[in-house]
Structure 1
Amino acid sequence: MSVQSAFQDEAARIEDVLGQIRRQLLAIGPRYTGDDFTEQMLQLQREQRQQRLEVAEREPYFGRIDFQELATPQPKPLYIGKAGVAHESSKELLVVDWRAPVASLFYAFSGGEAPITYESPEGEIEGTIHLKRNLMVRGGVLERVVDSYIRGEKDESVTDEFLLYRLGENKDNRLRDIVSTIQQEQDRIIRTEKNKTVFIQGVAGSGKTTVALHRLAYLLYRYADRIRAERMVIFAPNRMFLDYISGVLPELGVGDILQTTYNEWAIERLQRSVRLDDSSDSMAYWFEQPRTREEMEQASGRIKGSTAFKEAVDRRLQELESTLLPEQPFEPIPGMTLQPSAIQDWLLIEDSYEPFMKRRERLVNRIKRWLESEWKARRINDRPLKSKANARLNAYCKKIPSFTASQLYSEMLSGADAAELIPAKSRAATVKALKKNLAEPEDLAPLVYIQLRLYGLDQPVYDHVVIDEAQDYSPFQLEGLRLCQLHSSMTILGDLQQGIHRYAGIVNWTELTEVFDAQEQDYYELDRSYRSTMEIIEFANRVLGSMGDGVKPAVPVFRSGEEVEISVFDQEEERLAEAVRTVLDWQSQGSYRTIAVLARTAIACSVLAARFAEEGVEASLIQSKQEAYGGGLTIVPAYLAKGLEFDAVLIADADAASFGDNDGKLLYVACTRALHKLKLLSCGPLTNLLNAELCN
């Protein structure tokens, strides 16, 4: 069949499928607003169906695979889309949901005539692929058809033509789904079973964030009878990043998943008994001036997030548990005695799995019931006698320890275990702040852990947890999150090569993987970068040099672009003028929808923003607590740009004074924000991270 004929056939089918989708949408009818419970449940089902059909209407499908099962005489075309659609009358599937077992063939097939299998509910199904086709539909119109495999033709390998076409598109201010271009290694991660903690080490641009979001959508589809969206949570580095990724899940037909930052979540778990000190910005403190690696790695944030510190907290909690048992008998009146051995039996036999303070509450209530029982058994109605006995009861119960998380943490910081780990000045400052109900970010993990151990969860457990930029997390943070699940089910993703937060994060994945049992986890590496051109990725890899932490360097897809530019100036005025000239030139070309000007510090970004304003160039200045990214021209500190991506990036201060020898990862992050164009400016000597080889 000719290319033109194939296009015409596919365009005709698109029209037919869209017609069916629109008729089904119209048939849903008006929304029910009454009080009948059955009708309300039916309305909920109709709304869910309507959402799926609306997703399908925007883009009915993106792929086709002709699969012939071994027992059938001919191949059957299967069209893969974001939402499954059945024929309105025959109920035959017109579109297969991308999460369905058979759809895995579209992602797993890599060419060749050998049989291929997939796991269905009925067992393993084997067959052969005759055609793999990519289709692009926008606004109900078929725009592109690419056959990546046709059985019997000489070129039997699946090509990346369609992938390269999609990667070459310009960016807007939102992360997009990758359903149509999911790669084999990404699909394998997405379809990992539910009761696993999946670690993903992914280089810049490897799609790890979108893989994690697609994994959520897959789990909700695959385990629809066991997990719920409202019992899932996504942890992102900041509110701006959450805004950036906000469009992916709705486009996949998924809603109601909690999306938050760890700090916000921790404050909620602590019932807002503490708040972060607004006068301090720990991130700005570490990045607004160069810091040595030793300073970062010896910071109290790393110590308080360590396994050693968690073990010190555990020892104090064990001591607390032992003091729950009074050593003295309770004697409300002479001759009426409750022995400690009886209390011990109650504590150990009844609800011994419960958190400490709940066990204390139950223990106190059990003692009170015992006293009431004794009054009845002895038929004592003497009110003055009972009043004295109740006073003794209250005094006795006060001897059973009761703490808030802040109280126990403050008390623990004053003990010998903490003294061995944290300097006295730092401990004293923390205790003083807690008395004012203030906390630093580094204190939230131990506080939350203590809160959960003392009082347990105040909400249902999480079915699944996603942690993005996990290289910036500590083992202690994960220990607390483990307490929020019955079974470990997490997707933990990050990149050690972007581990710029050495003052609080990890330097090796084993720091986090050791939190979980080996059989409960899988570890994946994604070393292929789909974001940037070959020239940009190769440049960024060389910036890191020997700082790779044992992680494989990024491997670019074969998408060539312009060479990276570097310009050095003697005067600051010349550098600022070049920054403005470069951006105006890029804007005049009309090729870039999103442009970022990056600098080392917020102060440097403010200077650039002022200069752009003087020249009448409209730009958005991103600051540390910003909640939204609007696209267009953006000026942003390099340490806040992590996770974002732009068509073109200008690094305005790639000089030795701004990027020291220990800032390789920060400069790497800045370089890998660029999809198509990267340029660096320097006033005075270039940073040592940009060696002579890079500048040639």
Structure 2
Amino acid sequence: MTTLADERQYVETCRAALRRMLESACENVIAGEGVAGDRYSAERLGRHLKSLAKELGEEPGGPPFFGRLDFGAGEHRGRRYYIGRRHLTGEHGGVPVVIDWRAPVSRAFYRAGARDPLGVTTRRRYGWSGPSLTGFEDEHLGRGEQGGGAILAAEIERPRVGPMRDIVATIQPEQDELVRGELAESVCVQGAPGTGKTAVGLHRAAYLLYAHRARLERSGVLVLGPNRAFIGYIAAVLPALGEVQVEQTTLEELLGGTPGSTEAGAADSVEAAVVKHDARMAAVLRRALFGRIGKPAEPVTVTDGAVKWRVHEDELRRIVDDTRRESLPYLTGRERVRARIMARITRQAELRGVTVTAAWTKKMGRQVTPFLEEVWPAVKPEQVVFEVLSDPGAAAATLLDERERAAITWPRPPRSVRSARWTAADMVLLDEVAGLLERPAGYGHVIVDEAQDLSPMQCRAIARRSEHGSLTVLGDLAQATSPWAARDWSAQMAALGKPGATTVVLSTGFRVPAAVVELANRLLARLAAGVPPTRSFRRDGRLSVSPVAELAPAVVRAARAALELEGSVGVIAADADVAGLRDALRDGGLDAALVQPGDGGAYRRLSLVPASAAKGLEYDHVILAEPAAVAEGEPRGLNRLYVTLTRAVSRLEVLHARPLPAALIA
């Protein structure tokens, strides 16, 4: 039986192993600089070695392991494994001192139970205070003993300050099943607040990179969040798990980098945005783009010295019509037409004894370009969208009604494409046209969070990038707040290009206390989301609902009191009330970091959060100011209120100077 002193000694063994790995990585960087081989291979090897050395050098002085498995049966009988965030190699390449949590044998740490111990006799969990090991708890699965224990509960309930942490030490069996799903499988996770769906998605990214590294390093892994504040909140999770080669961004930023598009700099009316995000706009844009293709009216004549080669109108019409029927991307089709015309010219020349070379083909091909510009003209995404928004006209006829066409038409069109200021919805239209022109590069796996708020056109943008890969879709229909929000996951997955994907429901919350969940659950009947009420793993936490005479002074008092406790504090209010509360907090001597959707999240002990930016964020102590104002702030205000009520992981304090929304009153 190992004692606490034995385990502390093993911690030193692990830290010595980490130091050896770092020294070895640094030596490999030096050796790699003189490696033989081509320049590209040497450069890639150098980057990999330096990245590994940097990762190991920045490895926190925290726990090298969080669990241990003792096996008494099966293929691992008589063996003991320590489980941690990264693999630690034994001395002289011997038995590893710590096994990566993603390794096959580690699966038993998350899945073994009294009914099916998977060969495990004892599962041990460790308690830490910073870098110091403070204790451990054992579950003797071989004897039928199983229980979460105080260490597991303490880790789940630990106060949170700053960005999101990994949950690798507390993953539950149903979460682990999702994390370790096959790469080829696309899955949708309907997760109630606090069920860990975001963490599951991030850990799935880390697992897939471990299990399919060669493939995914080529094709890439993409994580899409709803806004920059959310990305800032989750950004530290994957690096903590040893994965830095994952692109984490928002859909708006991703589309802002598409060919031919520019950064959004204007705003739409709600009516215009709703029409632009409608799936019918894809048909409007396709019609506007492919409507540029004309009918050949003259033959193509190419001069080759004293000789002229000719392709007649009827043959040109067949070439153009056949190419259109192949449904190729627009620019691919244009080049296919050029190639087919050149094939006919080349055949004529060869029959006359001409020696065809690459230079000859290029020279003749340039003479075909004027015909292409007339019949299948080159175009950029901005030109197509500019013309549609200036005058939807024929492109939108029969697809949009008069009111809808008026909503998207610029009241005063810009003078030119270059002077246009694009809105966020326009960026989706530009991306649609870019995808019609040529297929975008795809990713091997895409993880989409808060997917319930994606519009049909946004879904198409994601589907184009995951056509040959897979998706992990995360969301909660009860938290749907956009005008085009999904009401059904099967339809949303079809729009994302993965019809028939499995939908898994997570309804047990590990972050939000039971008292808070019970209050938020009162809204579900009014939201018509068709999701089950949340159950909470936790019986701790605190909820208070207090009427106040004046809201701002009460918020200041509550924030000051919350700061005397451990953990982060978030003051959440309707967007229109944020400026006044910020002034009140400042006048009260409290410096609150204003969280906005477009920034990376300035994490201090005290944050002031507009309701529109609260989705996905969590705070140990939440002060919700004036629920009625949140509910009235937008068409789906009760959904927004549900979001704001479920951001607290320890304490929720609701302050209201006005009557509470009727749906909240028991």
* Aligned equivalent of 1:23: 20
**CA separation of 1:449/1:69 partners in 2, compared to 1, >3 Å: closer, same or farther?**
farther
Task: Give the letter for the 2:544 counterpart.
Answer: E
Question: What is the CA distance between 1:137 and its match in structure 2?
Answer: 4.2
3-state SS in 1 of match to 2:71: strand
> Structure 2 vs 1, CA of residues 325 and 75 (structure 1 numbering), >3 Å: closer, same or farther?
farther
1:102 partner letter: V
Q: Is the 8 A contact 2:33 2:46 kept in 1?
A: no
Corresponding residue to 1:536 among 508, 516, 537: 516
Deviation at residue 129 of structure 1 after TM alignment: 1.7
Cα 1:171–1:657 shift into 2, 3 Å? closer
Partner letter of residue 75 of structure 1? G
**Cross-structure match for 1:304:** 276
Q: Secondary structure at the match of 1:58?
A: coil
Q: Does 1:508 align with 2:484?
A: no
Show the 5 A alignment for 1:50-89.
50=53, 51=55, 55=59, 58-70=62-74, 74-89=77-92
- Hey, what's the Cα distance between the residues in 1 that align with 2:48 and 2:548? 64
Select 2:463's aligned residue among 465, 476, 482: 482
Q: Specify whether residues 537 and 325 from structure 1 end up closer, same or farther in structure 2 by C-alpha distance, changes over 3 A only.
A: same
Indicate which of 602, 616, 633 corresponds to 2:589: 616
Q: Which residue of 1 aligns with 2:358?
A: none
For 1:149 and 1:636, the matched residues in 2 are separated by 45
Match of 2:296 among 321, 326, 350: 326
1:424-456, Cα deviation, whole Å (9 max, x unpaired): 321312893684433322233332122112122
Number of equivalenced pairs? 639
**1:260 equivalent in alignment to 2:249:** yes
1:645 to 598, 618, 621: 618
Task: Quote the offset at 1:138 in angstroms.
Answer: 5.2
| Alignment partner of 1:338 is 2:312 | yes
Matched, 1:103 2:106: yes
The offset of 1:657, in angstroms, is 8.6
Find the partner of 2:127 among 136, 150, 156. 136
SS at match of 1:680: strand
Instruction: Find the aligned partners of 1:15 and 1:647 in 2 and give their Cα distance.
Output: 33
Q: What is the Cα deviation at residue 677 of structure 1?
A: 1.2
3-state secondary structure, aligned to 2:620: strand
Tell me if the contact between 1:305 and 1:474 (Cα under 8 Å) persists in the aligned partners.
yes
- 1:576 lines up with 2:552 in the alignment: yes
CA distance in 1, matches of 2:33, 2:187: 44
Counterpart position of 2:359: none
- Give the 3 Å change call, closer, same or farther, for CA 482–266 of structure 1 in structure 2: same
Counterpart contact for 2:198–2:474, Cα < 8 Å: yes
How far is 1:57 from its partner?
A: 5.8
Larger displacement relative to structure 2 (391-400 or 254-263): 391-400
Q: Is 1:6 aligned to residue 3 of structure 2?
A: yes
Q: Would the aligned equivalents of 2:221 and 2:247 in 1 still touch at CA under 8 Å?
A: yes
Q: Conserved in 2, the CA contact under 8 Å of 1:309 and 1:421?
A: no
> Taking structure 2 as the reference length, what is the TM-score of the superposition?
0.86
Work out whether 1:145 is the aligned partner of 2:119: no
1:97 deviation in Å? 1.0
The SS at the match of 1:78 is strand
2:452 corresponds to which residue? 471
Q: Does 1:681 align with 2:661?
A: no
Question: Does 1:565 find its partner at 2:561?
Answer: no
What is the CA distance between 1:52 and its match in structure 2?
A: 5.2
**Partner letter of residue 565 of structure 1?**
S
The answer (yes or no) to whether the contact 1:65–1:132 under 8 Å persists in 2 is yes
- Contact preservation (8 Å) 1:593, 1:632: yes
Q: Secondary structure at the match of 2:206?
A: helix
Whole-angstrom distance in 2 between the partners of 1:683 and 1:137: 43
Structure 1 pair 339/103, CA: closer, same or farther in 2 (3 Å)?
same
* CA distances 1:540-588 after superposition (whole Å, capped 9, x unpaired): 11133331410112111133222x2222234xxx322211111112223
Deviations 1:145-176, CA, capped at 9 Å, x for gaps = 122344226xx233253331112211111110
**2:563 equivalent to 1:546:** no
1:99 shift after superposition:
0.8
Evaluate the alpha carbon distance shift between residue 20 and residue 36 of structure 1 in structure 2; reply closer, same or farther with a 3 A threshold.
Answer: closer
State how far apart, in whole Å, the 2-side matches of 1:90 and 1:439 are: 57
User: Structure 1 residues 254 and 138, CA, compared in 2 at 3 Å: closer, same or farther?
Assistant: farther
- CA pair 55-358 structure 1, distance change in 2 beyond 3 A: same
Say if 1:136 and 1:145, in contact at 8 Å, map to a contact too.
Answer: yes
Partner of 1:200: 189
Distance in structure 1 (CA, Å) of the matches to 2:123 and 2:629: 51
C-alpha contact (below 8 Å) 1:149/1:158 kept by paired residues: no
| 1:235 alignment partner, SS class | strand
Shift of 1:464: 1.3
Alpha-carbon offset, residue 360 of structure 1: 0.5
SS in 2 for 1:94: coil
Task: Report SS of the residue matched to 1:514.
Answer: helix
Q: Flag the 1:656–1:476 CA change in 2: closer, same or farther, 3 A.
A: closer
- Give the aligned residue type for 2:611: A
Displacement after TM superposition at 1:229 (Å): 7.2
Once the two structures are superposed, residues 171-216 of structure 1 have per-residue CA deviations (whole angstroms, 9 ceiling, x without a partner) of 1111101111111111111111112222111111111111111111
Letter paired with 1:469: E
In structure 1, how many angstroms separate the alpha carbons of the residues matched to 2:646 and 2:66? Answer: 28
Is the Cα contact below 8 Å between 2:294 and 2:374 reproduced in 1? no
Deviates more, 1:363-372 or 1:624-633: 363-372
SS in 2 for 1:136: strand
1:158-197 mapped onto 2 (5 Å cutoff): 158-159=147-148, 161-197=150-186
Change (3 A) 1:307 1:421: farther
TM-score under structure 1 normalisation? 0.83
Unaligned runs of at least 5 residues, structure 2: 355-362
Point out the more displaced range, 351-360 or 623-632. Answer: 351-360
1:43 Cα offset (Å): 4.8
Partner of 1:123: none
Q: 2:642 — aligned with what?
A: 668
SS of the residue corresponding to residue 269 of structure 1 reads coil
Does residue 443 (structure 1) correspond to residue 426 (structure 2)? The answer is yes
Q: Would the aligned equivalents of 2:220 and 2:246 in 1 still touch at CA under 8 Å?
A: yes
Change (3 A) 1:490 1:685: same
Of 571, 580, 589, 1:597 maps to: 571
Aligned pair 1:93/2:89, yes or no?
no
Q: 1:632 to 1:517 in 2, by over 3 A?
A: closer
Match of 1:630 in 2: 603
Unmatched 5+ stretches in structure 1:
117-127, 287-298, 381-386
Deviates more, 1:352-361 or 1:203-212: 352-361
- Mapped contact 1:61–1:137 kept (Cα < 8 A): no
TM-fit CA distance, 1:349: 7.9
When residues 657 and 618 of structure 1 are mapped into structure 2, their CA distance, relative to the original with a 3 A threshold, is closer
**Structure 2 residue corresponding to 1:360, chosen from 328, 334, 337:** 334
Pair 107,410 (structure 1): closer, same or farther in 2 beyond 3 Å? same
Deviation readout 1:274-307 (Å, 9 max, x if unpaired): 43234x3x6xx87xxxxxxxxxxxx443443344
Any conservation in 1 of the 2:460–2:497 contact (CA below 8 Å)? no
Supply the AA of the counterpart residue of 1:68.
Answer: G
1:560 is matched by which residue type in structure 2? D
Distance 1:484 1:430, change over 3 A: farther
What amino acid does structure 2 have at the position aligned with 1:62?
Answer: F
Q: Structure 1: which amino acid aligns with 2:569?
A: I
- In the alignment, which residue of structure 2 is the partner of 1:291? none
Matches within 5 A, 1:265-280: 265-272=254-261, 274-278=262-266, 280=267
Q: Does 1:524 align with 2:512?
A: no
Give the 4+ runs in structure 1 shifted more than 6 A: 375-380, 387-393, 517-520
What letter is aligned with 1:446?
L
* Secondary structure of 2:215's aligned partner: coil
How far off its partner does 1:29 sit? 4.1
Whether the aligned pair in 2 keeps the contact of 1:55 and 1:82 (CA below 8 Å) is no
Percent identity, aligned pairs only, is 26
> What is the deviation of 1:16?
2.2
1:334-391 per-position Cα deviation (integer Å, ceiling 9, x unaligned): 99443543674588589957521132134235536755775787699xxxxxx99998
RMSD: 3.5
